[in-house]
Amino acid sequence: MVKPFVPQLVYIEPRALEYSLGKELLHKFQNMGIEIRETTSHNQIRNLPGENHFQKYRTAKSTLVVGVRKTLKFDTSKPSAEYAIPFATGCMGHCHYCYLQTTMGSKPYIRTYVNVEEIFEAAEEYMSERAPEITRFEASCTSDIVGVDHLTHTLKRAIEYFGKTEHGRLRFVTKFSHVDHLLDAEHNGKTRFRFSINDDYIIKYFEPGTSRLNERIEAAVKIAEAGYPLGFIVAPIYLHEGWKEGYREMFEMLNDVLPTYARRDLTFEMIQHRFTKPAKRVIQQNYPMTKLELDESKRKWKWGKYGIGKYVYTDHEQEDIKDTLGSYIYRYFPEAKIEYFT
Ligand code: SF4
């Protein structure tokens, strides 16, 4: 069982101490006996403990920076929401295919932002621009926010904030099962709580440092019991020997425990495994022993953002994935909505 995250090292930006959450976190980490360092800006963090890249990368992944979010301009977040809302960046998990490895480059530490009210004010403006249309905010574009929230409770505040809005909706996804503090949040049905799931083989070999499938499913049941609209992202869908069996077992496990009322408003998103050439290089550097199959010749090349092509499954394999997983969803969860396959 993966324990709730406890940082090995904490950096605090002085400006963060002008906010009550910044002060609160300083005291909390002092009381926990964690080493705390001051830094004028996270960009100044250079001397992380570790003798080589491999060790420094691992230290960074268990380092938390308490800072202030300066950019309050939100990125767009298609296809699952209109905007990405930035409460944190980085993640303590070690998924071999994690996109953060390339997007965060040499700064893989976790950052949490304490100017939460200012982030809400920015969200308010985005909502009023679109009103009376609903505006959806995705809170997990640059982190697994649930993984760190038992320490900060920022997400809990966000859930309650959006619970009170008329035109706002919040969504996020997690691979962690530490959700107990979120069960009594007043969400008013405005937050869709999603879990990222995969078959046991894939979680075992490629997702170290995250909650196991049975833990994620147990957490999903608690979330359903707390009345949240629920969703699952099956990602990345990865073809390995026995994948059809593996995914069938995963859906069966879910089917065995998910309460009936949670199935009426249930969503599935499906994302196939893909990689780019730069990502492949970073994965091989950070996880040199990985069993992840990254052979370009077995894949189809697809035009990607910024002109960097990505390697996806062949058309035939994609059809097979859609048919197989689609039929499982239809069999076990006929009322659920499949939002997209990409
Ligand atoms: S849990 Fe998500 S964000 Fe964290 S390492 Fe794994 S894929 Fe990346």
Element (H, E) at 301: strand 300-302
Tell me: the pLDDT tens digits for 288-337? 999 999 999 999 999 987 778 999 999 999 999 999 999 999 999 999 99
Q: How many Å apart are CA 76 and CA 186, to the nearest integer? A: 26
**Quick check: helix, strand or coil at residue 107?**
coil
Single out the residue of 253, 254, 248 nearest to residue 323, CA to CA: 248
Average pLDDT over residues 159-175: 98
Q: Is 91 in the pocket of ligand 1 (CB under 6 A)?
A: yes
CA of 96 to the centre of ligand 1 (A): 9
In the block, residue with structure tokens 């920076």: 65
* Mean pLDDT for all residues in the chain: 96
- pLDDT at residue 46 tops 90: no
| Peptide bond connecting 79 to the previous residue in cis, omega within 30 degrees of 0 | yes
Closest approach atom of ligand 1 to CA 100: 8
Domain covering 9-341 in this structure, CATH number: 3.80.30.30
Q: Which band of pLDDT confidence, cut at 50, 70 and 90, is reported for residue 45? A: confident
Supply the pLDDT for residue 333. Answer: 98
Supply the pLDDT for residue 107. Answer: 86
Tell me: the pLDDT tens digits for 92-140? 999 999 999 998 887 899 999 999 999 999 999 999 999 999 999 999 9
Pairs from 120-123 (Cβ < 8 Å, separation ≥ 24):
120/158, 120/161, 121/72, 122/72, 122/73, 122/74, 123/74, 123/83, 123/85, 123/161, 123/168
Q: Is 198 in the pocket of ligand 1 (CB under 6 A)?
A: no
The whole model's pTM is what?
0.96
Which residue has the least CA distance to atom 6 on ligand 1?
95
What percentage of the chain carries pLDDT values higher than 90?
90
CA of 98 to the centre of ligand 1 (A): 5
Structure letter (DSSP) for residue 104: S
Q: How many Å apart are CA 334 and CA 323, to the nearest integer? A: 15
CA of 40 to the centre of ligand 1 (A): 27
Assigned token pair, 35: 């080493």
Q: Is 95 in the pocket of ligand 1 (CB under 6 A)?
A: yes
* Contact residues for 93 (Cβ-Cβ < 8 A; gap 6+): 144, 147, 175, 176, 207, 208, 209, 210
Supply the pLDDT for residue 48. Answer: 83
Return the number of other C-beta atoms located less than 10 Å from residue 98's C-beta: 24
Tell me: the pLDDT tens digits for 57-105? 999 999 999 999 999 999 999 888 999 999 999 999 999 999 999 988 8
Supply the pLDDT for residue 291. Answer: 96
Q: How many Å apart are CA 34 and CA 271, to the nearest integer? A: 38
Length of the chain: 342
Burial category of 51 from C-beta neighbours within 10 Å (exposed 0-12, middle 13-18, buried 19 and up): exposed
Supply the pLDDT for residue 340. Answer: 93
Average pLDDT over residues 230-245: 98
Tell me: the pLDDT tens digits for 168-198? 999 999 999 999 999 999 999 999 999 999 9
Contact 337, 266 (CB under 8 A): yes
Q: How many Å apart are CA 19 and CA 25, to the nearest integer? A: 10
Which residue has the least CA distance to atom 5 on ligand 1?
93
Give the dihedral sign, CA 338/167/229/212.
positive
CA of 18 to the centre of ligand 1 (A): 30
In the block, residue with structure tokens 């979010």: 69
DSSP string, 227-283: T--EEEEEEEE---TTHHHHHHHHHHHHHHH--GGGGTTEEEEEEE--EEHHHHHHH
CA of 132 to the centre of ligand 1 (A): 34
Q: Which band of pLDDT confidence, cut at 50, 70 and 90, is reported for residue 50? A: confident
Largest alpha-carbon pair distance within the chain? 56
Burial category of 83 from C-beta neighbours within 10 Å (exposed 0-12, middle 13-18, buried 19 and up): buried
Supply the pLDDT for residue 322. Answer: 98
Supply the pLDDT for residue 125. Answer: 98
Supply the pLDDT for residue 106. Answer: 78
CA of 210 to the centre of ligand 1 (A): 8
Mutate to test the pocket of ligand 1, among 100, 102, 197, 287 (most ligand atoms within 8 A of CB): 100
Average pLDDT over residues 263-269: 97
Supply the pLDDT for residue 232. Answer: 98
Closest approach atom of ligand 1 to CA 99: 8
Q: Is 203 in the pocket of ligand 1 (CB under 6 A)?
A: no
Supply the pLDDT for residue 180. Answer: 98
Supply the pLDDT for residue 40. Answer: 82
Which residue has the least CA distance to atom 2 on ligand 1?
144
CA of 66 to the centre of ligand 1 (A): 20
Residue type, 159: I
Mutate to test the pocket of ligand 1, among 144, 203, 233 (most ligand atoms within 8 A of CB): 144
